[in-house]
A and B are shown apart, each in its own frame.
Chain A
Amino acid sequence: MTSTTLVPDRPAGNRRSARGGLPLTRVSGLGLGVAMVWFSLLVLIPLAAVAVTASQGGWSGFWRTVTNEQTAATIRLTVGTALLVTLVNIVMGTLIAWVLVRDRFFGKRALEILIDVPFALPTIVAGLVLLSLYGPGSPLGVNIANTRIAVFLAFLFVTLPFIVRTVQPVLAELDREAEEAAASLGASRYTTFRRIILPSLTPAIAAGAALSFARAVGEYGSLVLLSGNLPMRTEVASVRILSSIENDNPDSAAAVAVVLLAISLAVIVVLDVIQRRVMRRG
């Protein structure tokens, strides 16, 4: 690393107190520049473009679109189900990660690989699998086609690995002696989990939950076959966006997209706040 600074005449202390960082070196300056260009091209500019398209009809146009009865229903269903699925994942994902790290059993390796299947599987294939298992011709005799349960199930299927995979490495690295110390200080297994283990896992759980929620909100392929896309009942936001585009109404599509974006952002921020709280509380 070179120590040449871009602004050598400015005392470092000043900048540190003002901006909380050191002056950039040439190399790290270049790195930051590349990162920002990359990020802008891929994320910021497209997002801005969506926001601009959404604002074409003005505030009233935007408001009319998103409060349209059918659109509002899709957003409610999507966000509501995504939240529910994320909650389920927080419990089940942590539990599966726990079993994979702490327990030894026959077939553990196979299970480890199977966990990733929802990642690896093209979502439309997942949709087909779900349709053949839980559709009208179900071999299990369970037919949930054209119901909201189908949406819930499809979300669950595709988001399963997120929390498992974020929690697993953290759990594996956890200091077992801290747990033993807690036990010898008189803490029950539950208390040890809640006060010692959980605070260490929360950042990972929160990160996995954010990913899981974001994935669910945008899910399309895995549910489109099984849910039936019934307006006001099982239609989700992504399907609504697609039909807006097909009906040559990109403003409306963009408006829904902006709402989803705002909600996702809000959820990520809330999760971050919760995570910080839990970590401090201990």
Chain B
Amino acid sequence: MSIEIVNVGKRFGDFVALDDVSVSIPSGRLTALLGPSGGGKSTLLRIVAGLERADTGKIEIEGVDATGLPPQKRNVGFVFQHYAAFKHLSVRRNVAFGLEIRKRPKDEIRRRVDELLALVHLEQFADRLPAQLSGGQRQRMALARALAVEPTVLLLDEPFGALDAKVRKELRDWLRRLHDEVHVTTVFVTHDQEEALEVADEIVVINDGRVEQIGSPDELYDRPANEFVMRFLGPVTQLGDQLVRPHDLQLSTDPADASGVPGRVTRVTRIGFEIRVEVTADDGQTVTVTLTRNEFLALGIQVDSTVRVRLAPNSPTTTTSAPAQRAAAPSLAATH
């Protein structure tokens, strides 16, 4: 195990940021700390980097107890949401910074920086100032700067949070490919479940200062440990007292079919390739079902059609304590 987080607790005044958190982060993999804002995931990352001190607990990096070590001695690379560029230094000098203070020979620094700039595709921007780069370029520079010192672990705090949607998607793919090339143990913080599911090998879901679940993207999606994870990882709707994914629901118009819950279609919304059908069950509960366009056309349903709703076999569900959605109330469950 590359990073061992044992019983870590942290308070800011009365606010409990982390409550007895224990996580093992494996070597050479890409791990996401996923959770809502204010849930403690950034604090945990900063504690691993030594930028914040835990009140209780222990941090071990590659078998070395790092709990009391200052950030300078931990050999971690840290990438910040807002780049934290050294504004007065050129891109090249930014990347070289860690090597310069390690007093490496000049030609070695030059070679290594050239390599890194090529890796992050910034060769032609070497002599620009950070202010002359776009957000995505700045973040790639920050990544090269962090990688320059050959850190044991690379920590990224909401690395794509300040970028627009398109650049974010590009960088996400790029980070995945970069990791496959460099293989440094990487932990990144995100509140975007899609980002975590797409990029990470392993996801740690953190909420309210506690770990909710740890697992691969598939495990988390298919076997959510609790209602929170179920809700956070994707859209949900409620069928009886079960939380289910709207796309795991099936509709049937066959009058001979007695499975599932009977109801009436109350609304049909089309969003691109996806059709969202709202069904009001006979007991008054509103269930959202998403279908592909073809499924929808094959069923031939419209508003006021009578249908039966049932769950596809082997679909993930969790029981919920929340009251069921009633008709008339606008459905928010599926808009997550």
Contact = CB atoms under 8 A, between A and B. Distances in A.
Interface of A: 175, 177-178, 180-188, 191, 195-196, 199-200, 279-280, 282
A186 B146 CA distance: 11
A188 B71 CA distance: 10
A184 B145 contact: no
Interface in B40-77: 49-51, 70-72, 74-77
B188 interface: no
B136 interface: no
B77 A184 contact: yes
A177 B84 contact: yes
B80 A200 contact: no
A195 B96 CA distance: 13
Contacts of A186: 72, 75, 98, 101-102, 149
A183 B88 contact: no
Contacts of A200: 87-88
Contact of B71 (A175, A184, A191, A280): A184
Contacts of A177: 80, 82, 84
A280 B88 CA distance: 7
B245 interface: no
A196 B86 contact: yes
A178 B87 CA distance: 9
B85 A185 contact: no
A183 B84 contact: no
A188 B74 CA distance: 13
Nearest to B102: A186
Contact of A183 (B72, B93, B145, B149): B72
26 contacts: A175-B82, A175-B87, A177-B80, A177-B84, A178-B84, A180-B51, A180-B78, A180-B80, A181-B80, A181-B86, A182-B86, A182-B97, A183-B50, A183-B51, A184-B76, A184-B77, A184-B78, A185-B97, A185-B149, A186-B72, A187-B97, A188-B72, A199-B88, A280-B88, A282-B86, A282-B93
A280 B84 CA distance: 18
A279 B97 contact: no
B82 A183 contact: no
Contacts of A180: 51, 71, 78, 80, 84
Contacts of A188: 72
Nearest to A186: B72
Given A184-B49, A187-B101, A178 B85 contact: yes
A279 B89 CA distance: 9
The 6 closest A-B pairs by CB, nearest first: A177-B84, A185-B98, A181-B84, A184-B78, A183-B71, A199-B88
B285 to A, nearest CB: 48
A185 B94 CA distance: 11
Interface string B86-111: 11110001000110011000000000
Contacts of B82: 175, 177
A43 B49 CA distance: 55
B101 A191 contact: yes
A54 to B, nearest CB: 42
Report which residue of B75, B80, B146 has the largest number of chain A beta carbons within 10 angstroms of its beta carbon. Answer: B80
A182 B80 CA distance: 12
B330 to A, nearest CB: 41
